[in-house]
């Protein structure tokens, strides 16, 4: 099997050559095999990051929507702990707790760049019984350019006629959406990111079931429809609504962070935005910032400060803000230019569109960027 | 004489009536921000911590020129401040066939969250609405009430619902 594996890897690296880095060129995919958790829910596996990798997206799953998983521990080739779930903000690495499929991205901050060599990842799956999952990695070996492009695909899921004529054919000239794409370009440009090719598709699956996303399974199953193998772009699904448990509207959700960039067929393969954010009175501004924000999560960005002040992103140049008045929420008025003016601030506001150099640094290393 | 009194009352009404009003800018800003999170929404406990912001939520819900997403979320949050005037407003939103489907769905959930079994006759028309996504939301809202009376409403709808998606929701809510 070994020579065939080498050949397959060689072909994967070669595939797409001459396509300006848009396809498989610049990516190396590795099957890390199946692992089974022990009685305590843990299992350790080696992850050997190639010499020329600028980022490593490690994934494990699927394990279903009723089960959560995270990294318990991640140790670098030199033996240093770069992530410990007991103290998740001790280093500039982050790993989320996720249902069904767990993406882990290195690096998520210039303060802790990815290292070549064998890492030891201890995965923790919160289940009463042993769970077997498939793990893999997507290494981006394409060098990072000063100007980086992120392509997008917009998929319309049962939204035609709800706020406007909104389908693959007419969306290209629809005023609010056109303005939203211009807003994304404008905001991401501050991080050195160019919005590249945009594809438009009508959803071809069970539209009725996904027009309103009512739970995590519907969300994940919709993202799973991103084709395999996923190409190097961010897929935005437009739906009418995402509802919380009590029926309230959630405006948008990204897989992760990070999303399963350049991977199709997983419950973390894209972003969902709702037409609840469709505002003719603010053509494109609000919708564009929502898309840019969720796209930022997909590419590896976190909120500079979480809504309740409990956590911060791992970046050195995004301000941290604290809950000064102790009301359990870090508000825009409390944080003003101390994070609330950043695109990745937890709440939408007119001024929240700044981006930092470190945010651009992370986005440019995503496997979805080229 | 009657005419003069009517004219005087009308003048007073016009002089003092405003379709909606905000208590103060700071409270309004606080409420709007709570309604503007990208990926989360305030829970009932979060709203209770903010005090009686029902009037601000009603004003935002009635503000047809405001942000559609803030309006939809404010409409939903009225369910956590169950007053008669809020209920009447929610019923009017739910019955407005010209309103965005999402706004009507928010009203539906708000009624269920705020009035439990009392909301059942108010939501019932949505269970037979032409818009299947509204019917589906109505079924979920009724299912969320969780009472025997709510279950009976779902059973009744199950017998006549024809759309596969809504049928699937009804069956799931009834544990079938």
pLDDT (tens digit per residue) in B9-43: 444 444 444 444 555 788 888 899 899 999 999 99
pLDDT (tens digit per residue) in B39-83: 999 999 999 988 999 999 999 999 999 899 999 999 999 999 999
- Chain A residue nearest residue B168, CA to CA: A209
CATH of the domain at A175: 3.40.390.10
What pLDDT score was predicted for residue B8? 52
3-state secondary structure of B86: helix
Residues from A contacting B (CB-CB < 8 Å) are 158, 162-163, 208-209, 211-212, 214, 240-241, 243-244, 246-253, 274-279, 281-282, 286, 290, 293-294, 307, 327-329, 331-333, 346-349
Give domain status of residue A82, yes or no: yes
Q: What percent of chain B has pLDDT over 70?
A: 87
What pLDDT score was predicted for residue A114? 97
Residue A246 and residue B100: Cβ atoms within 8 Å? no
CA B61 to chain centroid, in Å, comes to 9
- Average confidence score pLDDT of chain A: 90
Nearest to B67 among A162, A279, A333 (CB): A279
Give domain status of residue A242, yes or no: yes
Nearest to A279 among B46, B68, B141 (CB): B68
pLDDT band per the 50, 70, 90 thresholds, residue A6: very low
Residues A113 and A204 in one domain: no
Residues A179 and A242 in one domain: yes
Give domain status of residue A153, yes or no: yes
- Average confidence score pLDDT of chain B: 89
Kindly report the nearest CA distance between residue B17 and chain A, in angstroms.
26
Residues A220 and A169 in one domain: yes
Q: Which residues on adjacent β-strands are paired with residue A233?
A: A151
Domain edge (last residue) among A140, A171, A205? A140
Residues A161 and A242 in one domain: yes
What pLDDT score was predicted for residue B17? 43
For residue A16, pLDDT beyond 70 = no
For residue A187, pLDDT beyond 50 = yes
Give domain status of residue A320, yes or no: no
Give domain status of residue A12, yes or no: no
Residues A135 and A153 in one domain: no
Domain edge (last residue) among A240, A265, A296? A296
Residues B32, B34, B38: CA angle, nearest 5 degrees: 100
What pLDDT score was predicted for residue B26? 81
Give domain status of residue A246, yes or no: yes
Residues A108 and A58 in one domain: yes
pLDDT band per the 50, 70, 90 thresholds, residue A226: very high
CA A17 – CA A228 distance, rounded (Å): 19
Average pLDDT over residues A122-131: 96
Count of domains observed in chain A? 2
CA A177 – CA A164 distance, rounded (Å): 10
Nearest to B37 among A211, A247, A347 (CB): A347
Residue B105 and residue A282: Cβ atoms within 8 Å? no
Q: Residue A230: which of A118, A148, A136, A146 has the closest Cα?
A: A136
Give domain status of residue A86, yes or no: yes
Residues A224 and A163 in one domain: yes
Residues A229 and A274 in one domain: yes
* Helix-strand-coil split of chain B, %, nearest 5: 70, 0, 30
Q: Residue A136: which of A15, A300, A265 has the closest Cα?
A: A265
Residues A124 and A191 in one domain: no
**Does B116 or B21 have the greater pLDDT score?**
B116
Residue B137 and residue A275: Cβ atoms within 8 Å? no
- Chain B residue nearest residue A282, CA to CA: B67
Query: Which token pair is A147?
Result: 């100007």
Q: Are B163 and B130 in contact (CB under 8 A)?
A: no
Instruction: For residue B78, give the DSSP letter.
Output: G
Q: Are B68 and A279 in contact (CB under 8 A)?
A: yes
Residues A156 and A46 in one domain: no
CA B165 – CA B169 distance, rounded (Å): 6
Q: Are A233 and B157 in contact (CB under 8 A)?
A: no
Residue A276 and residue B68: Cβ atoms within 8 Å? yes
Residue A247 and residue B65: Cβ atoms within 8 Å? no
Give domain status of residue A355, yes or no: no
For residue A185, pLDDT beyond 60 = yes
pLDDT (tens digit per residue) in A338-367: 888 999 999 987 778 999 999 999 999 999
Phi–psi pair at B26, nearest 5 degrees: -65, -45
Give chain B positions within 8 Å (CB) of A347.
Answer: 33, 36-38
What pLDDT score was predicted for residue B14? 43
For residue A1, pLDDT beyond 60 = no
Average pLDDT over residues A221-239: 90
Q: What percent of chain A has pLDDT over 90?
A: 77
pLDDT (tens digit per residue) in A80-108: 999 999 999 999 999 999 999 999 999 99
Domain edge (last residue) among A103, A122, A140? A140
CA A298 – CA A256 distance, rounded (Å): 6
Identify the domain containing residue A62 by its residue range. Answer: 20-140
For residue A48, pLDDT beyond 90 = yes
What pLDDT score was predicted for residue A327? 77
For residue A321, pLDDT beyond 60 = yes
Residue A279 and residue B100: Cβ atoms within 8 Å? no
Cis, peptide link before residue A302, omega less than 30° from 0: no
Give the A:B interface size as CB pairs under 8 Å.
115
Residues from B contacting A (CB-CB < 8 Å) are 29-30, 33-34, 36-41, 43-44, 46, 49, 65, 67-69, 72-73, 76-77, 100-102, 105-106, 108-110, 112-113, 132-133, 136-137, 140-141, 144, 163-165
CATH of the domain at A119: 2.60.120.380
Residue A293 and residue B67: Cβ atoms within 8 Å? no
Residues A197 and A282 in one domain: yes
Nearest to B102 among A241, A286, A329 (CB): A241
CA A63 – CA A58 distance, rounded (Å): 15
Residues A206 and A73 in one domain: no
Residue B72 and residue A162: Cβ atoms within 8 Å? no
ipTM for the predicted complex comes to: 0.87
What pLDDT score was predicted for residue A263? 95
For residue A21, pLDDT beyond 60 = no
């Amino acid at each position: 099997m070994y020579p065939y594996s080498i050949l397959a890897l060689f072909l994967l690296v070669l595939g797409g050559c001459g396509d300006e880095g848009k396809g498989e060129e610049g990516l190396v995919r590795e099957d890390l095999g199946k692992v089974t958790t022990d009685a305590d829910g843990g299992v350790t596996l080696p992850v050997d990051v190639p010499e020329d990798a600028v980022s490593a997206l490690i994934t494990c799953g699927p394990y279903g929507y009723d089960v959560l998983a995270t990294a318990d521990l991640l140790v670098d080739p030199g033996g240093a702990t770069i992530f410990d779930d007991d103290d998740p903000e001790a280093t500039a690495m982050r790993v989320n707790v996720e249902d069904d499929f767990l993406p882990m991205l290195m690096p998520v901050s210039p303060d802790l760049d990815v290292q070549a060599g064998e890492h030891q990842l201890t995965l923790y799956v919160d289940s009463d019984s042993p769970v077997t999952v498939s793990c893999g990695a997507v290494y981006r070996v394409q060098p990072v350019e000063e100007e980086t492009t992120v392509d997008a695909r917009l998929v319309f899921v049962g939204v035609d006629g709800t706020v406007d004529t909104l389908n693959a054919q007419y969306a290209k000239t629809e005023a609010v959406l056109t303005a939203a794409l211009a807003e994304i370009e404008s905001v991401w440009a501050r991080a050195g990111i160019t919005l590249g090719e945009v594809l438009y598709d009508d959803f071809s699956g069970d539209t009725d079931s996904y027009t309103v996303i009512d739970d995590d399974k519907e969300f994940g199953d919709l993202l799973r429809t991103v084709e395999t193998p996923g190409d190097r772009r961010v897929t935005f699904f437009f739906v009418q609504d995402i509802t919380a448990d009590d029926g309230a509207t959630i405006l948008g959700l990204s897989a992760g962070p990070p999303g399963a960039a350049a991977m199709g067929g997983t419950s973390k393969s894209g972003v969902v935005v709702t037409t609840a954010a469709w505002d003719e009175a603010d053509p494109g501004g609000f919708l564009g910032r929502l898309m840019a924000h969720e796209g930022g999560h997909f590419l590896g960005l976190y909120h500079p400060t979480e809504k309740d002040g409990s956590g911060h992103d791992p970046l050195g140049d995004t301000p941290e803000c604290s809950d000064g008045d102790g009301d359990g929420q870090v508000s825009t008025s409390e944080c003003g230019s101390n994070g609330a003016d950043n695109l990745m601030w937890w709440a939408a506001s007119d001024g929240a569109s700044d981006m930092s150099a470190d945010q651009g640094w992370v986005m440019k290393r995503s496997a979805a960027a080229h | 004489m009657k005419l003069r009194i009517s004219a005087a009352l009308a003048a007073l009404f016009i002089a003092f009536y405003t379709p909606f009003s905000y208590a103060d800018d700071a409270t309004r800003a606080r409420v709007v921000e709570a309604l503007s999170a990208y990926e989360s929404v305030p829970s009932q406990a979060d709203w209770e911590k903010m005090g009686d912001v029902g009037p601000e939520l009603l004003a935002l819900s009635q503000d047809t020129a405001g942000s559609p997403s803030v309006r939809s979320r404010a409409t939903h949050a009225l369910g956590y401040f169950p007053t008669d005037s809020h209920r009447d407003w929610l019923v009017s939103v739910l019955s407005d066939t010209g309103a965005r489907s999402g706004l009507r769905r928010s009203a539906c959930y708000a009624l269920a969250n705020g009035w439990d079994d009392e909301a059942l006759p108010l939501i019932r028309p949505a269970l037979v609405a032409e818009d299947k996504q509204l019917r589906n939301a109505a079924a979920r809202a009724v299912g969320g009430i969780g009472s025997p009376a709510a279950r009976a409403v779902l059973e009744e709808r199950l017998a006549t619902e024809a759309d596969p998606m809504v049928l699937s929701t009804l069956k799931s809510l009834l544990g079938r």
